[in-house]
Structure 1
Amino acid sequence: MSYFTIAGVQMHAHHHGDNTEAMRHRIDVLMSRFPQVQMVLFSELMPMGASTHNARPMPCDAEALFCQIAEQHRIWLIPGSMFEQAEDGIYNTLSVINPHGQVVNRFRKLFPFRPYEIGVESGTEFVVFDVPNVGRFGVSICYDMWFPETTRTLAAMGAEVILHPTMTDTIDRDIELSMARTNAAVNQCYFFDINGAGALGNGRSIVVGPSGDVIHQAGIGEEIMPIEIDMTRVRREREAGLRGLGQPLKSFRDRKVDFSLYRSETGSTPFLDTLGPLAKPVRANVEDY
């Protein structure tokens, strides 16, 4: 089966509260209206809000509720992410739930939005999963997109679709829209970048095809986006080139250049070490003017 329908959900929610029942209602309405949907994707931190005070161990009651919903509607469900309380700290964690109500994998955000997202640890593992008879999907969260190595790694692991919940409420959303298109094009994959609305994001979710083409871009309010994708597009463009032209994945595979920076023990260079600490900007004293 090459066709598969994914619905991104951009919705308002409480910044610091439990949004799970609102999400359940949204899924019920969505599946009643668009019964062809096979996967539902929410934005980052949608279930329990953006406060680390709501962190909880995994598995948890909220995740169990989403498992019930996925089984009820026979859908793949990625309910955004939640703060996970682990023994070694707090992580921003996404659950992948199959139509049988089973958690098939969990992904911890690799790059917390530092220096602003303080008190959250970095994940270390990439996650891809297979939808039987459809294809391979990869997951990342928000700021992960700003590091091209993350999406390239998922593509190199065989991901044909990147599912990317985000919570962007800042003035750099326009840059992320360009990044979503670029990530899709250079990795020849679909890219679903789903943002929240209101307190949990300034909207403008975007779905991009494997040529970097914008399939849909949402406004700033609530919106449900059921999008049918065609896996043969990804496979054909990876075989024959983006719009019949460049073949970036094959070129990366066959490269002669050695990226020695990524093999160093520190992952750094003398230049990067001159950039100073990773810290919030400080306000200058008025006496300095």
Structure 2
Amino acid sequence: MKELKIGFLQQHNVADQQDNMVRLAEGIADLAQRGAQLIVLQELHNSLYFCQTEDVNVFDLAEPIPGPSTQFFGELAKTYHVVIVTSLFERRAPGLYHNTAVVIEADGSIAGKYRKMHIPDDPAYYEKFYFTPGDLGFHPIDTSVGRLGVLVCWDQWYPEAARLMALQGAEMLIYPTAIGYALSDSKEEQERQREAWTTVQRGHAVANGLPVISVNRVGFEPDPSGQTEGIQFWGSSFVAGPQGELHYRAGNDEEESIIVNIDLDHSEQVRRWWPFLRDRRIDKYDSILKRYDD
């Protein structure tokens, strides 16, 4: 059995970026001391979720890769000998920015990065204002703990992204996330959305025979513009196995620091039982490249 101890931090962020990073460092140290080999952080974990408004001054938060944050998390990874999946606001050039996941190897080096491909643009999620769509493609990142299929948040709704990672040998799918309730929605609608979010990702696990790790932020963050009532991030971070089984799902209103053990070899057995990759009709999928087949 190839067992991997996966740790994650479901954190509530505040306006003080230094406070967020100190708490992340403390959480990483604690998870490592408890035996975590891979630690996954939530989307844009250094700051508040700034995409609730469109403000050019926010670009000051962006940084190059490599840069201060990769050095910060690299030192933690090296100190505690853990692989860390981070999520950063990348400054690639003046006027060119990305929402970028960076995987830090256990020796502190950068194992690879992924630039978020699907960029939403909805009330309180004005990401197209800040982020250029990724141009690195869907390629897993090789690390000492396995080949990681790292995607980011809105990517998690797209089966194509998960499939392309699986077809290149990803051993697991990982989604740093920032998603929550619109407070104007009814409690029933809020719950439908949270369950849909969980269900679609469990579907990616089943369809590809791979574990899924999805780590979301938690807690309320106000809208600085006052145009909306802010976002109540719903937490519910989870680890699912290759048949969609939930190994653990966090609560929807509290911070959590969790370690989950998964058996990576089990994916091989599941794929023998359910050989979806064998039975794909790759000769009949041309229409998937169209926006809409009318």
Give the alignment's TM-score, normalised by structure 2.
Answer: 0.82
Contact 1:15–1:50 at 8 Å: present in 2 too?
A: no
Q: Residue 211 of structure 2 contacts residue 242 of structure 2 at CA under 8 Å; is this kept in 1?
A: yes
Provide the rounded CA distance (Å) in 1 between the counterparts of 2:286 and 2:16. Answer: 43
- Opposite residue 22 of structure 1, the aligned amino acid is R
**3-state SS of paired residue (1:101):** coil
Pick aligned residue for 2:139 from 114, 127, 138: 127
Aligned residues: 257
In 1, the alpha carbon distance for the partners of 2:98 and 2:70 equals 15
When residues 89 and 185 of structure 1 are mapped into structure 2, their CA distance, relative to the original with a 3 A threshold, is same
Return the offset for 1:137: 1.7
Written as runs of structure 1 = structure 2, the 5 A alignment for 1:1-289 is: 2-14=2-14, 17-18=17-18, 19-32=20-33, 34=34, 36-51=35-50, 52-53=58-59, 54-79=61-86, 81-87=87-93, 89-115=96-122, 116-119=126-129, 120-124=131-135, 125-132=137-144, 135-170=146-181, 171=190, 172-199=193-220, 201-220=233-252, 221-241=254-274, 247-252=275-280, 255=281, 257-263=283-289, 267-269=290-292, 271=294
Range 93-102 or range 171-180, more displaced: 171-180
**Which has the higher mean CA deviation after the structures are superposed, 119-128 or 151-160?**
119-128
Once the 2 structures are TM-superposed, how far is the Cα of residue 118 of structure 1 from its aligned partner?
2.6
Determine the C-alpha separation between the residues in 2 that align with 1:218 and 1:86.
34
Partners of 2:113 and 2:141 within 8 A in 1:
no
Deviation by residue 1:265-285 (Cα, 9 ceiling, x = unmatched):
xx32364xxxxxxxxxxxxxx
Once superposed, what is the RMSD of the aligned Cα atoms? 1.9
Q: Which residue of 1 aligns with 2:187?
A: none
Shift of 1:16: 7.1
Amino acid at match of 1:94: A
Counterpart residue type for residue 23 of structure 2: A
- The TM-score, its normalising length taken from structure 1, stands at 0.83
Listed one character per residue, the Cα deviations across residues 249-277 of structure 1 (whole Å, up to 9, x for unaligned) are 2222xx165222244xxx32364xxxxxx
SS at match of 1:251: coil
Cα pair 2:32 2:82 within 8 Å, conserved: no
The verdict on how the C-alpha distance between 1:30 and 1:89 changes in structure 2, with shifts beyond 3 A counting, is same
Query: Which whole-Å CA distance do the structure 2 matches of 1:188 and 1:177 have between them?
Result: 16
In structure 2, stretches of 5+ residues that fail to align are 51-57, 182-189, 222-232
Q: Provide closer, same or farther for how the CA distance between residues 231 and 270 of structure 1 changes in structure 2, counting only shifts above 3 A.
A: closer
Residue type of the alignment partner of 2:216: N
Report which stretch shifted further, 181-190 or 165-174: 165-174
- State whether residues 70 and 104 of structure 2, in contact with CA within 8 Å, keep that contact through their aligned partners in structure 1: no
Q: Which amino acid aligns with 1:189?
A: L
- Cα distance change, pair 259–16 in 1 and its aligned pair in 2 (3 A): farther
CA shift for structure 1 position 50: 2.4
Q: Is the 8 A contact 2:116 2:133 kept in 1?
A: yes
Rg comparison, structure with higher value = 1
Structure 1 ranges of 4+ moved more than 6 A: none
Q: CA deviation at 1:38?
A: 0.4
**Secondary structure class of the residue paired with 2:17:** coil
